[in-house]
Amino acid sequence: MGVPEQQSRRRAQLGFSFEEAQAPQRRVWQVSSLTAQLRAEVERSFQDLWVEGEISDLRIAASGHIYFNLKDDGAQLAVVMFRRQAGLLRFRPEDGLQVLLRGRLTVYEQRGSVQIVAEHLEPMGAGSLQMAFEQVKAQLQREGLFDQERKKPLPAFPHCVGIITSPTGAVIRDFLNVAGRRHGALKVLLYPALVQGDSAAAEVAAGIRYFNQSREVDVIVIARGGGSLEDLMAFNSEALARVIAASELPVVSAVGHETDFTIADFVADLRAPTPSAAAELITVAQHRIEEQVEELSLRLQRAARYALMRARDRLSRIAAPAALARFEDALQRRQQRIDELMLRLQTHMGRRLQHEAMRWQQMTESLMRHDVRHRLRLTAGQLDALGGRLMQAQQAELQRRRARVEALERMLHSLSPLGVLERGYALVYDDQGRLLRSSSEAQPGQTLRTRLAQGTVESRVITTSEDTTKE
């Protein structure tokens, strides 16, 4: 009876009825299978998270993805925000910034590490829109885009103004009313664009580029009514600010009410409190001129009426024949003065034409002396001469080296053992390839190889006396 059967019988005698427990079966995981299972469990349990922490080790990849660590005093987690979500951020993430993050927890299988895939990010404390505004403002100010020295002056008397705004809003009607009242001859070209929303900044920038390319206007106006910080966010775009700064035409920013300030206001060549104020600022010089012209016209009319009244009074006291004679005399003097001025003008024009002709001749002669084609011909001749000299030097050096090589070949041939063989001598080698110098070095039955000037001869040694016999 075996030992296990004895142990079973002993347990039965003692009254134990349970069976011996079996060891659990071992399961062996593949690393990829385990990480995939872990990722599925983690993503199922943590699908929607809000996490607060501090940004560190921020990296923005060329693909547009953002990588950073979110940490507190006791731990840290890796975070990735893909390009699509990163493009929706209203601010620029920075190291050390306290943020509130929304996303889902997952496992990066290639490294076996836990990370958060961020869907939304907002700064703690100040709002994201205000922070984005301050970040863009500080960046552009460091680059000098707000400097007064780079701003272009507005034209005093513009003939045509390009305005970029919504074609259906009250802004365009107010602008046209003010501009028409103050400068009736001013032309206004409208570039319709959205002034609110995600695509507004791109459409306004496209309008600025269009007016710069077409050159149909003298000044550009960006206009919209007031609103909240979110409503005006399109005019806080860094891309739009750089387009405004790069504009060759002066740009007037008339965005919002008098208390509203945007990045476009700081970069533009002139900031107007309202769109109506922009129309007034553009037409201020023309309006002043028109007021002065109207005032001068009234003064001229009063002076003309006064002079006419005095002339009538004098005419009434002068006899008709005497007045006619004096009139004819004054007319003749003025005709003489005209003739004198015409003569002086002709003399001056003749001298001027002669002077210009001399200048033209001098410039022509100077141009002929500095004719580039002549200098090119001289340079080409010099290059041809140098090329010929270089070719001669190369041929001479080649002949010299060829003669030296031939001399060395002759010397080498004279020193070569093959040259000695040509004179009837031979070289004898044993079967090990050693050169024999005496008949005593050969052994009977040994195969020898004799090198002649033309080919070799193999032979076998029969005896090794003074006169060796070979087969």
Same domain for 151 and 207, yes or no, is yes
- Main-chain dihedrals φ then ψ at residue 70, nearest 5 degrees: -110, 120
Contacts of 185 (CB under 8 A, 6+ apart): 159
Q: What is the pLDDT along the chain (471 residues), one digit of tens a residue?
A: 554 555 556 555 555 444 555 556 788 888 888 888 888 888 788 888 888 888 888 888 888 899 999 888 888 889 999 988 887 777 778 887 888 888 889 888 888 888 999 988 877 755 556 666 777 777 777 888 778 888 888 887 788 989 888 888 788 888 888 877 777 678 888 898 888 877 888 888 999 999 999 888 889 898 887 766 666 777 877 888 888 888 889 988 888 766 667 888 888 888 888 888 888 888 775 656 666 666 777 778 888 888 888 887 777 666 566 667 777 778 888 888 888 888 888 888 888 888 888 888 888 877 777 767 777 888 888 888 888 898 999 999 899 999 888 888 888 777 766 666 766 677 888 888 787 778 777 888 788 888 777 788 888 888 766 544 444
Same domain for 152 and 277, yes or no, is yes
Same domain for 95 and 141, yes or no, is no
Last residue of a domain, one of 223, 255, 282: 282
Q: Is there a domain that residue 246 lies in?
A: yes
The whole domain housing 65 covers: 31-125
Q: Is there a domain that residue 389 lies in?
A: no
Q: Measure the CA dihedral 145/284/278/237, to 10°.
A: -10
In angstroms, what CA-CA distances link 417 with 115, 411, 413, 436, 441? 82, 12, 8, 15, 21
Last residue of a domain, one of 125, 156, 189: 125
What domain count does the chain have? 4
Same domain for 226 and 139, yes or no, is yes
Give this prediction's pTM.
0.41
**336 vs 4: CA distance, rounded Å:** 154
Last residue of a domain, one of 222, 255, 282: 282
Q: Is there a domain that residue 464 lies in?
A: yes
**356 vs 358: CA distance, rounded Å:** 5
